[in-house]
Structure 1
Amino acid sequence: MKSSTRPRPYNFAARAAVLTWVCTSATTAIACAAVVMYAAVRNHHVASGEWTGMALAIFSLRFASSRWDKITDADVLHRLRLVDGPCGAGDLARYLGRRRGPVHLSLRRLSQAGLIIPVDSVNSVVRYTCV
């Protein structure tokens, strides 16, 4: 291991803000969808304002999820830089306290960006390291 494996302190505030934003966006999207469905059943038409509200909620949710992806990418890249040897998605997910799926997607995005490279495969698990 290199010098410090502690997460950077500003990440906690950023994670909390993004998580709050994601929850608010998801709640807004669900509420708007419920209003649209109620109006469609009751009035047999949908008002344009409700569609606008739902579109804004969906855009907001997509924006928040992309921010969360960037935070996950930064954490995965930071962890790979701290580790001396290659590391797989399962090990990174355990260390970061996340599920394997989002970490695997982060590894794929970082690999496509050329920031990390696959080193080897052990028992069908690809391990990565920083460039």
Structure 2
Amino acid sequence: MRSVFFLFSFLLSACSPVMTQRQNNADGMTRFRKWVGENYKFTKDMKKARLKGEIVVAFTVDTIGILTDFEILKDLGFGTGEELVRVLDFSNIGFGRWRPGMQDGKPVSVRYTIPVTINAK
């Protein structure tokens, strides 16, 4: 059995502007977490290694709600971080845009860091 657990506790980066409204996915974080879990693909090597642990990825949600500038901060090897980036990048098409952050009534880009726990049994 394989599983992807989203401990989706967003950590705003220090480089983010002060905002009056944080962005979030227009369709809701619960659906987004589920969508990412359904689209994350474990390779044969990941399954064989029975990887279990946390991947941490940072990304920017730009002023029109597109996820960009992905950075793998921690992975488990075997392409785990790259797969998460692939899924997050694909979410721009497969899931939809996010609402941008707002500052003084104008959309702003915001940097997020997310930890994702996987278990490739």
TM-score by length of 1: 0.27
Q: Which has the higher strand share?
A: 2
Q: Does 1 or 2 have the higher relative contact order (CA < 8 Å, sep 6+)?
A: 2
Q: Which has the higher helix share?
A: 1
